[in-house]
């Protein structure tokens, strides 16, 4: 009888990729994937530690799963309850105390050792904690990507090229939970990309915590940066779209900018977190760029690729942020213009330098600033979406919609586009006429007719 595996993923795209790779490790052990934790023999929570809220969610989910586990025990079966990801890495020991019913707590650098860890749980019957940063690269020990896990979503896939971070922004847990920077050899990445194409992938998103600090060894023994890697990826037949995330502004080099000019599959959309528009705060954050460096960088990118559109991350209420500092962020936002963005109230994370600063900002003030920033960002996003109406855009159809006959795809700018289209178009890139815009999505149609009766339905679907 096959055993059932349920993985719940929190946080960033790296976690989505990691969950798929954990599945690839476990399928050969006789597991099959289930969406329902109630009938799972093993549940893994792949967790995120970036902000306090994200970490707290894990403990409430663990309480719920413990009740399911107890019910299964009463019925004579068992459930291995495991916690992976950055909360596991950061709070391993504390988690074993706070949730003693958890069987297995393991960090992001140990996924390849899952079979051995599961065997230890089954043998010993006690809990296992593994938050090592082993010397050997886990990628060498992971099996090939399989088409059976969630590696591929429609015709789109993530591919981790780099992991970890050496930047130590004062607010951020990533250097502690993911460890120092590691770049995979270029040949391994290109092989994985080719394999993904064989499995039907058309769009690749190259992933890294700090993806543009990529510096992997290539077959010619040279060290490649991300620009060179993107160029080589673009030479693989069948790759129709390339994206990469997440970038650090100070590490965008001339090669990467040239890739935006030269590699036709590289999408004209870039997530480039700036965090703040105040030099004083950027310095306190230990960012290695100022607000004007960011402005100039955007200018260079726009010169290389005039239709490039930007997204960003912002933190409001970093310790010591004055009204003038916040106004600096608002000025930068108004000047640059973002088509989409993530913005957060500063959340002190244990163990990071900023958490122990004594000039913390009042929660209410953080909320006020966040609202002002988000109103501006939302209106920029809406304006961009509206500017797309009437245009024709290539859309990769990679999800089914809520209504029958409906599909959802992604525009070059990552906007979800709803359309009524025949099922055989699933997984392909089609030109859609954009008929309507909403706050977070677009509605399109296959032909230029705006009187298409199905458009009404599309508009309601987002």
Length of the chain: 462
Q: Interface mask (CB under 6 A) for ligand 5AD, residues 49-88, using x and -?
A: -xx-------------------------------------
Structure tokens at 399: 């999800």
**Smallest separation (angstroms) from ligand 5AD to the CB of 209:** 9
H or E element at residue 205: strand 203-207
Asked whether the CA dihedral 329, 331, 332, 338 is positive or negative, the reply is: positive
Window 205-244: contact mask with ligand 5AD (x via CB under 6 A): ----------------------------------------
List 47, 210, 212, 312, residue binding ligand SF4 (CB under 6 A)? 210
Shortest separation between residue 178's beta carbon and ligand SF4, angstroms: 8
Q: Which of 11, 107, 175, 216 binds ligand SF4 (CB under 6 A)?
A: 175
Shortest Å, Cβ 281 to ligand 5AD? 12
- Angstrom distance (rounded) from CA 177 to CA 223: 26
Measured between alpha carbons, how far is 60 from 55 in angstroms, rounded to an integer?
A: 10
165 binding partner (options ligand 5AD, ligand SF4, none; Cβ < 5 to 8 Å by kind)? ligand SF4
What gap in Å lies between CA 64 and CA 89, rounded to an integer? 21
273-312: which residues touch ligand 5AD (CB under 6 A)? 273, 275
Tokens 């003030």, residue? Answer: 365
Using alpha carbons, select from 374, 365, 290, 287 the residue that is nearest to residue 320: 365
Q: Which of 167, 302, 399, 403 binds ligand SF4 (CB under 6 A)?
A: 167
What is the rounded distance in angstroms from the CA atom of residue 209 to the CA atom of residue 245?
8
Q: Which does 344 bind (CB under 5 to 8 A by kind): ligand 5AD, ligand SF4, none?
A: ligand 5AD
Binding region for ligand 5AD (CB under 6 A) out of 208-216, 342-350, 393-401, 447-455: 342-350
By CB under 6 A, how many residues form the interface with ligand SF4? 10
Contact 253, 227 (CB under 8 A): yes
Q: In what order do the strands lie in the sheet with 340-345?
A: 269-271, 309-316, 340-345
> Contact, 47 vs 85, CB < 8 A?
yes
The partner in contact with residue 248, picked from ligand 5AD, ligand SF4, none with C-beta cut-offs of 5 to 8 angstroms by kind, is: ligand SF4
Of 167 and 280, the one with the shorter C-beta distance to ligand SF4 is: 167
Shortest Å distance, C-beta 314 to ligand SF4 = 12
462 binds, among ligand 5AD, ligand SF4, none (CB under 5 to 8 A by kind): none
Q: Determine the Cα–Cα distance for residues 458 and 20; give it in Å rounded to an integer.
A: 31
Beta strand residue intervals within 307-457, DSSP E:
309-316, 340-345, 392-400, 406-410, 416-420, 429-437, 442-445
Q: What are phi and psi of 261, to 5 degrees?
A: -80, -40
Query: Closest separation between CB of residue 357 and ligand 5AD, Å?
Result: 12
Stretch that binds ligand 5AD, among 119-127, 343-351, 374-382, 400-408 (CB under 6 A): 343-351
3-state secondary structure of 204: strand
- Can you tell me whether residue 86 is helix, strand or coil? helix
With contacts defined by CB under 6 A, name the span among 71-79, 170-178, 188-196, 224-232 that binds ligand SF4: 170-178
Secondary structure element (H or E) that encloses residue 84, with its range: strand 80-84
Does position 248 interact with ligand SF4 (CB under 6 A)? The reply is yes
Site for ligand SF4 in 313-372 (CB under 6 A): none
Q: Give CA separation, 88 vs 12, 46, 110, 134, 340, in Å.
A: 15, 9, 11, 16, 31
Stretch that binds ligand SF4, among 31-39, 166-174, 255-263, 378-386 (CB under 6 A): 166-174
Q: Tell which one of 155, 172, 266, 417 touches ligand 5AD (CB under 6 A).
A: 172
Q: Which is nearer to ligand 5AD, 354 or 393 (CB)?
A: 354
**Beta-carbon contacts of residue 450 (< 8 Å; ≥ 6 apart):** 433, 435
If one asks whether residue 252 binds ligand SF4 (CB under 6 A), the answer comes out as no
Applying CB under 6 A, the residues found at the interface with ligand SF4 are 165, 167-169, 172, 174-175, 209-210, 248
Applying CB under 6 A, the residues found at the interface with ligand 5AD are 50-51, 171-172, 273, 275, 313, 315, 344, 346-347, 349
């Amino acid at each position: 009888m096959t055993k059932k595996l349920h993985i719940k993923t929190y946080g960033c795209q790296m976690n989505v990729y990691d969950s798929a790779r954990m599945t690839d490790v476990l399928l050969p052990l006789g597991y099959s994937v289930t969406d329902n934790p109630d009938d799972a023999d093993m549940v893994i929570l792949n967790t995120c530690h970036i902000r306090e809220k994200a970490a707290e969610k894990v403990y409430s989910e663990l309480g719920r799963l413990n009740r399911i586990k107890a019910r299964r025990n009463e019925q004579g079966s068992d459930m291995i309850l495991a916690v992976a990801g950055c909360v596991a890495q950061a709070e391993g020991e504390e988690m074993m105390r706070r949730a003693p019913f958890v069987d297995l707590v393991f960090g992001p650098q140990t996924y390849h050792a899952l079979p051995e860890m599961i065997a230890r749980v089954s043998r010993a019957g006690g809990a296992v904690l593994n938050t090592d940063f082993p010397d050997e690269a886990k990628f060498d020990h992971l099996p090939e990507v399989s088409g059976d896990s969630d590696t591929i979503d429609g015709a789109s896939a993530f591919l981790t090229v780099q992991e970890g971070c050496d930047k130590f922004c004062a607010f951020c847990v990533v250097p502690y939970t993911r460890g120092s920077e590691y770049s995979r050899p270029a040949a391994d990445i290109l092989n994985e990309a080719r394999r993904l194409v064989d499995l039907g992938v058309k769009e690749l998103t190259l992933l890294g915590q700090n993806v543009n600090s990529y510096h992997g060894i290539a077959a010619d023994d040279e060290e490649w940066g991300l620009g060179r890697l993107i160029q080589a990826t673009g030479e693989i037949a069948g790759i129709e779209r390339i994206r990469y995330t997440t970038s650090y502004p100070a590490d965008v080099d001339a090669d990467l900018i040239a890739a935006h000019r030269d590699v036709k599959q590289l999408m004209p959309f870039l997530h480039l977190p700036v965090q703040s528009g105040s030099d004083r705060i950027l310095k306190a954050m230990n960012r290695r760029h100022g607000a004007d460096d960011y402005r100039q960088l955007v200018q260079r990118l726009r010169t290389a690729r005039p239709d490039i559109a930007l997204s960003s991350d912002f933190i409001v209420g970093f310790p010591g942020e004055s009204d003038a500092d916040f106004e600096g962020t608002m000025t930068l936002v108004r000047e640059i213009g973002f088509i989409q963005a993530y913005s957060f109230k500063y959340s002190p994370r244990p163990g990071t330098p900023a958490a122990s600063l004594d000039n913390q900002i009042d929660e209410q003030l953080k909320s006020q600033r966040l609202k002002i920033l988000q109103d501006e960002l939302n209106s920029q996003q809406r304006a961009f979406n509206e500017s797309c109406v009437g245009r024709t855009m290539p859309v990769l159809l990679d999800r089914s919609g809520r209504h029958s006959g409906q599909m959802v795809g992604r525009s070059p700018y990552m906007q979800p586009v709803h359309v009524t289209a025949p099922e055989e178009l699933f997984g392909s890139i089609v030109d859609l006429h954009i008929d309507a815009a909403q706050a977070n999505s677009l509605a399109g149609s296959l032909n230029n007719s705006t009187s298409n009766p199905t458009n009404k339905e599309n508009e309601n679907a987002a």
